[in-house]
C-alpha cells in the first residue's frame, strides 16, 4: 500500500470528522453545551496528567 494513499485517506477522514463536530457544536438545544462539557472533561485530566508527568521527570534530574 502506498504511503501517499494512506495519508490521503487519513486527511480526508480528519476533514470529515471536523465537519461532523462542527455540525454538532453548532446544533440546536444542548448540543453545544455538551460539546463544551466534553472538551473540559477531557482537557482537565489531560493537563493534570501532563503536569504530574513533568513533575516526575523533573524529580529524576533533581539532586537533593
Q: Tell me, what's the pLDDT at 27?
A: 83
Angstrom distances, CA of residue 64 to CA of 4, 57, 59: 51, 15, 10
Q: Tell me, what's the pLDDT at 1?
A: 58
Q: Tell me, what's the pLDDT at 23?
A: 86
| Domain span holding position 33 | 3-60
54 or 1, which is more confident?
Answer: 54
The contacts of residue 35 (CB under 8 Å, 6+ apart) are: 21, 24, 25
pLDDT digits (tens, 9 = 90+) for 9-20: 888 999 999 998
pLDDT digits (tens, 9 = 90+) for 3-61: 677 788 888 999 999 998 888 888 888 888 888 899 999 999 999 999 999 999 999 99
Q: How many domains does the chain have?
A: 1
Amino acid at each position: 500500500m502506498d504511503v501517499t494513499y494512506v495519508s490521503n485517506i487519513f486527511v480526508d477522514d480528519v476533514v470529515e470528522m471536523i465537519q461532523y463536530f462542527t455540525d454538532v457544536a453548532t446544533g440546536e438545544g444542548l448540543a453545544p453545551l455538551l460539546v463544551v462539557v466534553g472538551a473540559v472533561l477531557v482537557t482537565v485530566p489531560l493537563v493534570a496528567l501532563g503536569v504530574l508527568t513533568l513533575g516526575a521527570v523533573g524529580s529524576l534530574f533533581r539532586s537533593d
